[in-house]
Structure 1
């Protein structure tokens, strides 16, 4: 009887942990979709709120910059709050901000709700991955990280296009309303099932191999890799049109191919992160550099361009997950602060990469953006290989 009772208790714990993990994955999907959704709805928002496209574009730029600036200080300010209470509060504010976006009467109102959502996003990314990892044993941490970033990949590949499609047919507000409802579901599951672990406790709260030097090198490598990735992805569409000479109708399927390859890669990335964490970081980064060099040198060939798109999709999603996984391994202090620093560098690098491309584009043409991206990511791969 005692064994049956213990088995039932373990089963209930496992089901609760898996459900809470699913809620964290759903919340991740919501945050990433929300961050990028306005990019697909620019003309509809601008027309409805009587604003310019550039002003609406600031909703995306301002969101990323807000996350970059406040990630570390806000995480420090909230790090004493138990995880369930913190994540529940963050999701409650996100839901309120998303509903506010749905009902926004003016562009100024919408900008305020977006800033509030970005503030919650900044702290969420710092603690959600650590909380998810803490639900399971350290031996499967790579698979947990892969699943969380898989949700991010799905949000990019499916969530944003689906939100754009819905916004085109039912109005842009409907897309934010759906996100609000999904956020409510995630909030309910987290409030009900997530353990209210005190901050600083649990195996995921501190790195197994804390090393300040390795962490600093990791951040530099992240900056190089993500700046390169951003320089390439920001100008992918003009590259495919002007260099590879694809028709406009082919762009959507090519972008979907890249995203689908990334999702497929994430399905196997977790095992590699657990068994070969260093190789799982260096190899995708080097592969991404190779794909970008191929685009620069041979991208005029449509077949080469399509293959390079698929390879870059698989490589970049694996690389990002591996970078985050490495943070949890070498964080010199608490992993939430280290994750916040990683998030800040990540978002600054996205803006820097887009800015590099903006400078090169008018001076040297769109092919130069692929070359710059390849050089930056190759530098990241060399640095991460040299200093594991």
Structure 2
């Protein structure tokens, strides 16, 4: 779900070996709050369904609406704002998140809640297009990888700890409090960014790389295709994990989400040790494990112990897959086209999230929660097939030139 924006040639304001941690942690928190805003409804379907007088499938569409808005807004709004100074744009986006989460916390009407989620998705599309690029401009070139890793770690922390903890707290104290807390966090974050994050000028027209030149490179569409089908299958299941887990007696989805989130951290660590030496076999293994987890969930998902083990395998395998895909994309595009290629991947991510949550909602409404793993499984098999046949350009066993894409290895 991340996308470094294209950086300009302005020299970074810091030098030496010390990272500007206060500013980077502010950007980390921005990434954390964006992921929390996007995915928190997935763990609160029953509570929100009752309060908004809507089915759980329709509440799941709140995730769909957010993702569709991010997908539609990311490229045109980012292009429109690239000439603006960076800090005012970032602060404006954070203020937008605060307002949207405040409206969600107060709303009792599904239509108003959906509108707030769509606007939040627009804010998310702009934010993901600039966060990593912003971090890269805050440090010298030799420190950019670590700076980007610090900021994008907010994604992993949100997935592994934030969403399950937020779900548990919102379940205990009311779902509205969860969104109110995110609104308050955004207000605090505005001041934090204003005091610790430097401002930068916008980009000139001559610094913008045309999208079509990157999209036409051999292998780019192959990597994006795998990204799309993986997100379709994953999100169809993940968005509706609450009703699926309820079949096994887990009324509190926080436990299941915590297992998934902690497993993603382990998966990222394992992938970090293998990605440079064995990128293609590691990706194939990750996709195969996600598919196997869906098969087990489909066959034995009503058994609590089996459910938790399968979710742990799913989380560990999926946690490393996005890093493998982004590294493959950067390997195809080369360093000069990495930013633009990753922005394309961000759009595909949002398309996959939107379509996956929509498809999962339709399956849930039509066939019930037990059918969700069976809907996801063919998509994951398709991802395996594409990787298998795309070995020439997109997924070679090794990439020449050493540690391609290493600054994106931790997410």
TM-score above 0.5: yes
- SS of residue matched to 2:222: helix
Counterpart of 1:133 in structure 2 is 136
Counterpart of 1:6 in structure 2 is none
Counterpart of 2:311 in structure 1 is 309
Structure that is richer in helix per residue: 1
1:184 has 2:187 as partner: yes
Q: Normalised by the size of structure 2, how large is the TM-score?
A: 0.73
Q: Displacement of 1:61 after TM fit?
A: 1.8
Superposition pairs for residues 236-315 of structure 1, below 5 Å? 246-248=248-250, 253-267=255-269, 276=276, 279-280=278-279, 283-293=282-292, 295-296=294-295, 300=300, 306-315=308-317
CA offsets, 1:42-75, max 9 Å, x none? 4444544555555544322211111122211111
Q: Displacement of 1:188 after TM fit?
A: 2.1
Of 364, 373, 381, 1:375 maps to 381
- SS of residue matched to 1:248: coil
Return closer, same or farther for 1:252/1:195 CA change in 2, 3 Å cut-off. closer
Q: Displacement of 1:286 after TM fit?
A: 3.1
Q: Which runs of 5+ in 2 are unaligned?
A: 1-13, 395-411
User: Contact 1:80 / 1:199 at 8 angstroms: preserved in 2?
Assistant: yes
Q: Displacement of 1:279 after TM fit?
A: 4.1
Return closer, same or farther for 1:385/1:183 CA change in 2, 3 Å cut-off. farther
Of 86, 107, 132, 1:83 maps to 86
Of 318, 321, 339, 1:319 maps to 321
Counterpart of 2:35 in structure 1 is 32
Q: Which moved more, 1:364-373 or 1:167-176?
A: 364-373
Q: Displacement of 1:115 after TM fit?
A: 2.0
Return closer, same or farther for 1:75/1:285 CA change in 2, 3 Å cut-off. farther
1:196 has 2:199 as partner: yes
- SS of residue matched to 1:387: coil
Q: Displacement of 1:327 after TM fit?
A: 4.8
Tell me how far apart the structure 2 counterparts of residues 231 and 321 of structure 1 sit (CA, whole Å).
20
Tell me how far apart the structure 2 counterparts of residues 253 and 40 of structure 1 sit (CA, whole Å).
10
Counterpart of 1:102 in structure 2 is 105
Return closer, same or farther for 1:241/1:335 CA change in 2, 3 Å cut-off. same
Question: How many corresponding residue pairs?
Answer: 369
- SS of residue matched to 2:219: helix
Return closer, same or farther for 1:342/1:300 CA change in 2, 3 Å cut-off. same
Counterpart of 1:4 in structure 2 is none
Q: Displacement of 1:32 after TM fit?
A: 0.8
Counterpart of 1:5 in structure 2 is none
Return closer, same or farther for 1:369/1:85 CA change in 2, 3 Å cut-off. same
Q: Which moved more, 1:227-236 or 1:31-40?
A: 227-236
CA offsets, 1:12-46, max 9 Å, x none? x935x222111111111111111122333344445
User: Contact 1:228 / 1:353 at 8 angstroms: preserved in 2?
Assistant: yes
Return closer, same or farther for 1:319/1:180 CA change in 2, 3 Å cut-off. same
Q: Displacement of 1:86 after TM fit?
A: 2.0
Q: Displacement of 1:300 after TM fit?
A: 3.9
Q: Normalised by the size of structure 1, how large is the TM-score?
A: 0.77
CA offsets, 1:274-304, max 9 Å, x none? xx2x845761453232342365279549777
Counterpart of 1:58 in structure 2 is 61
Superposition CA RMSD, Å: 4.0
User: Contact 1:84 / 1:195 at 8 angstroms: preserved in 2?
Assistant: yes
Of 210, 217, 224, 1:219 maps to 224
